[in-house]
Amino acid sequence: MCLAPESQPQSLQSLLRAEYANALVAIEAPTSSTTGRKHPKLWDLDDKHHCPLIGTCLSMDELQRFDRRFHFSARPGDDFALHVEAVAQCRSRNPASEAMQRHLDRKYQLWVTRFGKLKDDKDLLALWHECQQRGDVAGPLWALCTHRNASQTSLQQAYADIHMLSHQVGAGLAADTRRLAHLEKENAELKNGLKRELAALRRQLSAAEAERAERDTLRGEIDTLHKRLQRFESGQVIVEMGQRLVALQTSHDKLLAASGRVWELERNLKDIREETQHIAAERDSALAERDALEHLLRALEPDHCEATPGSDACAACEHATSTRCVLYVGGRAALLAQYRQLAGRLGITLIHHDGGQEESLSRLPELIRSADAVMCPTDHVSHNAYYHVKAHCKRVGKPCLFYRGGGISGFAVAMARIGRGEYSLAGDPG
């Protein structure tokens, strides 16, 4: 235990004197058993146990947290005064002592549980000595002091052990402090010497590495020259030069073959250009044909009819205007949209049947009956569809036009013929 110096406040000196007097009384007091009591709280313990419990079981950081929380009166930075005030708070039940009780229970819960399994005071004391020999003091001290079956003899023994341990630690700390100062001085000298030796070794190592690198470079150059000399002496260089000459000749032949292919490609390009020009000429011809067809279609439209009323031409126009729905069988499926567009310009609805490619021929009779006339390109329809159309149109008396040419121009000419009423019930191609 520690006595307060004369420079401490009067209240601290009185607390320490009271603590020391209580320790002397406890040593001389007869021991009594407290078996069967409830778990004692911090404020239920004898005053002499508060000092070792607070000093051993709580760190200074924890005491400083309690100081900030409960506003202790100790001066900031005075650890001894903080310890004394915490001990004084433990002598009665108050918010600070209750908080310290809960904190210590949580902190040393494992030790409290371990000691709580023991019921006999001798076992408690034996476990305390075992923990003390291993260096475990704080947790076992709290668990023993708050155990319901711990006798005053066991508590006094723990108090005495902690008391003597504090003296031993204090004495050992002073010796350790002196020894530490000597070791720190010796360590500083050794560090300085080691740094100097390490710097010298590093310089030597750098020089050795540079010398080794230079030696390795020279050895590599010597090995390279030696290998080249061996190759010249063995004739391998001549062989390699011959191989390179053969490779160059092969490459030359490949270049000649590539040149021939380039010439062939240029000739093909010339043919393609000529074909492109031919296609462009055909396109221009097709555009001219389209313009002629559009002119023909405009001539067939009722708004452009110049026939004299009552003449045969006027009758043909009236017949054409009466034809509102035409069935188109066969033809080119890719041109179907253009077929419909040309028919629509004449005010005719175009019904299409592919001639049995995907659609069933059984639908032809129904479609023929629903149409005003039938068109069929003979060069773009199957024989079976041709005969079906021809037979059914003849049977029902439906106007039918067979013609050659499934293109746009052929379709336009056929539409013009329909406009003029040129049908064939016999189905002969026009």
366 falls in which pLDDT band (50, 70, 90)? very high
Contacts of 43 (CB under 8 A, 6+ apart): 90, 91, 92, 93, 94, 97, 101
Q: Last residue of a domain, which of 149, 184, 219? A: 184
| Residue of higher predicted confidence among 333 and 391 | 391
pLDDT at 230: 82
The average pLDDT across 13-31 equals: 45
- Grade residue 345 by pLDDT with cuts at 50, 70 and 90: confident
Measured CA to CA, the distance from residue 190 to residue 183 in angstroms comes to: 10
Q: What pLDDT shows up at residue 171?
A: 61
* CA atoms of 303 and 277, how far apart (whole Å): 39
For residues 333-347, give the mean pLDDT: 88
- Average of per-residue pLDDT across 229-255: 85
Cα–Cα distances in angstroms (integers) from residue 72 to residues 62, 78, 189, in the given order: 13, 12, 46
Is the domain of 32 the same as that of 179? yes
Give the pLDDT mean for 328-347.
Answer: 89
The pTM for the full model equals 0.35
| Residue 102: per-residue pLDDT | 94
Q: Which residue did the predictor score with more confidence, 350 or 236? A: 350
Query: Are 170 and 319 in a shared domain?
Result: no
Instruction: Judge whether 250 lies within some domain.
Output: no
Q: Choose one of 184, 217, 241: the last residue of a domain.
A: 184
- The residue from 137, 168, 184 where one domain ends is 184
Q: What is the overall mean pLDDT for the chain?
A: 80
In a domain, 288, yes or no: no
- CA-nearest of 115, 145, 109 to 127 is 115
Q: pLDDT higher for 23 or 398? A: 398
- 21: in domain: yes
If we measure between CA atoms, which residue out of 21, 9, 95 comes closest to residue 51? 21
pLDDT tens digit sequence for 186-240: 889 999 999 999 999 999 999 999 999 999 999 999 988 888 888 777 888 788 8
**Considering the domain boundaries, does residue 257 fall inside one?**
no
* Residues spanned by the domain of 311: 302-419
Structural domain total, the chain: 2
- Sequence-distant (6+) residues with CB within 8 A of 377 are 330, 331, 402, 403, 404, 405, 406, 410, 411, 414
Round to whole Å and give the CA distance between 81 and 154.
29
Please indicate, yes or no, whether residues 153 and 16 belong to a single structural domain of this protein.
yes
| 177 in the same domain as 41 | yes
Measured CA to CA, the distance from residue 425 to residue 390 in angstroms comes to 8
Strand order in the sheet with 349-353: 349-353, 325-329, 373-377, 400-403
Q: How far is the C-alpha of 230 from the C-alpha of 86, rounded, in Å?
A: 93
Q: Does a structural domain hold residue 283?
A: no
Does any domain span residue 68? yes
What do you get for the CA distance between the two ends of the chain, in Å? 136
Which burial class, exposed, middle or buried, applies to 413 when counting CB atoms under 10 A from its CB (0-12, 13-18, 19+)? Answer: middle
283: left (phi over 0), alpha (psi -120 to 50) or beta: alpha
CATH number for position 350: 3.40.50.10700
Is 322 a domain residue?
Answer: yes
Where is 76: in which H helix or E strand? Answer: none
d(CA 163, CA 7): 24
- Give the tokens for residue 148: 């319901």
What would the mean pLDDT of 9-38 be, rounded to a whole number? 46
115, amino acid identity: F
